[in-house]
Amino acid sequence: MKLRNLIISGSIIASSFLASVALAEDTIKVGVLHSLSGTMAISETTLKDTVLMMIEEQNKMGGLLGKKLEAVVVDPASNWPLFAEKTRELLAKEKVDVIFGCWTSVSRKSVLPVIEELNGLMFYPVQYEGEESSKNVFYTGAAPNQQAIPAVDYLMNEIGAKRWVLLGTDYVYPRTTNKILEAYLKSKGVKDKDIMINYTPFGHSDWQGIVSDVKKFGSTGMKTAVVSTVNGDANIPFYKELGNQGISAQDIPVVAFSVGEEELSGFDTKPLVGHLAAWNYFQSIESEANSEFIAKWKKYIKDDKRVTNDPMEATYIGFKMWAKAVEKVGTTDVNAVEQAMIGVTVPNLTGGIAVMNPNHHLSKPVFIGEIQDDGQVEVVWQTADTVIGDAWSDFLPSSKNLMSDWTPPMSCGNYDVTSGKCSGKM
């Protein structure tokens, strides 16, 4: 009996030895922290493949600083504490130089303390609620002002929407986005009774009642629009119900921030035609860089039907920027790369130039598109210029005084302009 216990605890201890044996370092290690199983695998697997494709391409061009890039892929399995554990594994055990990863806000929040503690570097490629700026994270997805606000502007000015339904899954991103939108709409003179807010649980699949409520809300004669921050899995049943209850995009247009080409590829898009999506990238946008990227992707994934989407472009931009910054400073040292990142530019796939701002967010163009019956999204409107990602929303009372600037002398992610203090500094 003693022996058995010994063997088991021995094997645990032995493995931790193995963990601590440092490997000879002749490659640059890139950590890939995307869920490959569990609920988020649907979205995140694609990003893992994108990073691998980028690494392969970079290696074909001779790697970085004369070294090959080596991907370290782990599976945090859509389990948030496991995200923290895997980050620690990547940084402490595998000693990766950079991590590309996370999709959900909670996974990012889970990873954040670890990555700050161990001074790692992470690129986060998904649109999110903002209200964050970490020294160790670069946010290449859209902040609310790069997606939600332009979309509402479009509906208000071009479509003439007067009544608003804000539908969301009950978690931080929709909550925050809707708070921002509510404040924004009110600042534009929309009354309380013309705003309906509704939250549903994750994976909500029975939309009959809510869609019927939306229909009633929209039958007052005033043009009604739905702003949807409904998350991934719940979207299909939602749109199906819309279609079945006969709500077309002409009656009540729905603009979604979480529905892109990839999600659409799993839909029967017939009932969706004309509904809107707001992103910083669409596959349908014609440019040389984009067609080249699409071709490369289809070849890499060996599937002619696979689509590209916004988080993939965000990953692409993040990767290119990181590579550029590393070349610039000639090292993968986190502090050096972090400083070098600010101001780095990379051409967008849709034309124009993406710039990394001192608040670790990108400047990007914003597109509004209508969903077509082939699952693609046709641009119907775009911002005249790129929009600077705003880490702290101006429409929330708690954050309107905060700003982020990681260049000296400020070097602070949440500087309070009224008190002149950098809150959260130890």
Partner 1 sequence: MNYPISKFSSPLQRVTGLLFVMTLYVVIANTFFAPDSFWHVSDYSVTLLGKYLCYALLALAVDLVWGYCGILSLGHGAFFALGGYAMGMYLMRQIGERGVYGNPDLPDFMVFLSWDSLPWFWWGSDSFVWMIVMVVLAPGLLAYIFGAMAFRSRVSGVYLSIMTQAMTYALLLAFFRNEMGFGGNNGLTDFKDILGFSLQSSGTRLTLFVLTTVFLGLAYFICHRIVNSKAGKVVMAIRDAESRTRFVGYNTAKYKVAIFTFSAVLAGIAGALYVPQVGIINPGEFSPINSIEMVIWVAIGGRGTLYGAIVGALVVSYAKTRFTAIMPEAWLFALGGLFVLVTLLLPKGLVGLWPTVKTKAQQLWPKEKAL
Partner 2 sequence: MTLIQRLIFLMLLTVGLTWPLKAAEFENFEAAIAALPQADFKSLPELLAGIAELDDQRVSSLFVHISQGEVYFQKSDKRVFYVLDQADGSARIIDALNGEVSQDIEKKQLSKVKTNNRIRSDITQLQAQLNLNHPDPNIRLTAAREMLADVSRISDKRLADRQNKESDGDVADILSLIAALKQFSKDDAVSQLSALTQLDSTLEPDVSQVLAAASQDAEHYSAEVQTKIKATLANIESQRNLYSYAENIFFGLSLGSVLLLAAIGLAITFGVMGVINMAHGEMMMLGAYTTYVIQQWFPNLIEYSLLIAVPAAFLVSGSVGVIIERSIIQFLKGRPLETLLATFGVSLILQQLVRTVFSPLNRQVIAPEWMSGSWQINPVFSVTFNRLYIILFSLAVFFMLLIFLKKSALGLHVRAVAQNRDMARALSIRSNWVDAATFGLGSGIAGIAGVVLSQLTNVGPNLGQAYIIDSFLVVVFGGVGNLWGTLVSAMTLGVLNKFLEPLTGPVMASIIVLVGLVFFIQKRPMGLFPQKGRAVE
Rule CB under 8 A: which residues touch partner 2?
36-39, 41-42, 45-46, 158-162, 170, 198-201, 203-206, 208-210, 212-213, 219-223, 233, 236-237, 240-241, 243-246, 249-250, 253, 262-263, 265-268, 270-271, 273-274, 276, 370, 372-373, 378, 380
Smallest distance from partner 1 to CB 215, Å:
25
The minimum distance between CB 393 and partner 1, in angstroms, equals 9
Our CB check for partner 1 shows the closer of 11 and 244 to be: 11
- Taken in order 289, 356, 338, 310, the sign of the CA dihedral is negative
CA proximity to 203, closest of 165, 226, 232, 241: 232
CB of 375 to partner 2, least distance (A): 8
Q: Residue 81 or residue 160: which is nearer to partner 1 going by CB?
A: 81
> Which of the listed partners (partner 1, partner 2, none) does 352 bind, with a CB threshold of 5 to 8 Å by partner kind?
none
Question: What residue 421 binds from partner 1, partner 2, none (CB within 5 to 8 A, per partner kind)?
Answer: partner 1
For residue 162, CA distances in Å to 186, 196, 313, 382, 388 come to: 11, 12, 33, 21, 27
| 384: CB partners within 8 A, 6+ apart | none
Residues binding partner 1 (CB under 8 A): 1-2, 4-6, 8-9, 11-13, 15-17, 19-22, 36-37, 73-77, 79-82, 84-86, 88-89, 92-93, 104-106, 109-110, 112-114, 117, 131-132, 170-172, 175-176, 179, 199, 201-202, 396-399, 402, 413-414, 416, 419, 421, 423-426
Q: How far is the CB of 270 from partner 1 (least distance, A)?
A: 32
Output the smallest distance, CB 130 to partner 2, in A: 24
Instruction: For residue 192, give Cα distances in angstroms to 177, 197, 351, 387.
Output: 17, 10, 40, 29
Residue 61's binding partner out of partner 1, partner 2, none, with CB under 5 to 8 Å set by partner kind: none
For residues 210 and 228, give the distance between their C-alpha atoms in angstroms, rounded to a whole number.
13
Task: Report what 265 binds from partner 2, partner 1, none; CB cut-off 5-8 Å by kind.
Answer: partner 2
Identity of the residue, 93 or 240, whose beta carbon is nearer to partner 1 in the bound complex: 93
160 binds, among partner 1, partner 2, none (CB under 5 to 8 A by kind): partner 2
Smallest CA-to-CA distance from 228 within 219, 220, 237 is with: 237
Question: Can you read off the two tokens belonging to residue 401?
Answer: 């005084």
Angstrom CA distances, 187 to 12, 41, 397, stand at 59, 39, 13
Q: How far is the CB of 196 from partner 2 (least distance, A)?
A: 12
Calpha distance 222→74 (Å, rounded)? 51
Distance CA 100, CA 123 (A): 5
* CA-wise closest residue to 33 among 76, 97, 96, 82: 76
Single-letter amino acid code for the residue at 172? V
Name the minimum Å distance from CB 302 to partner 2.
11
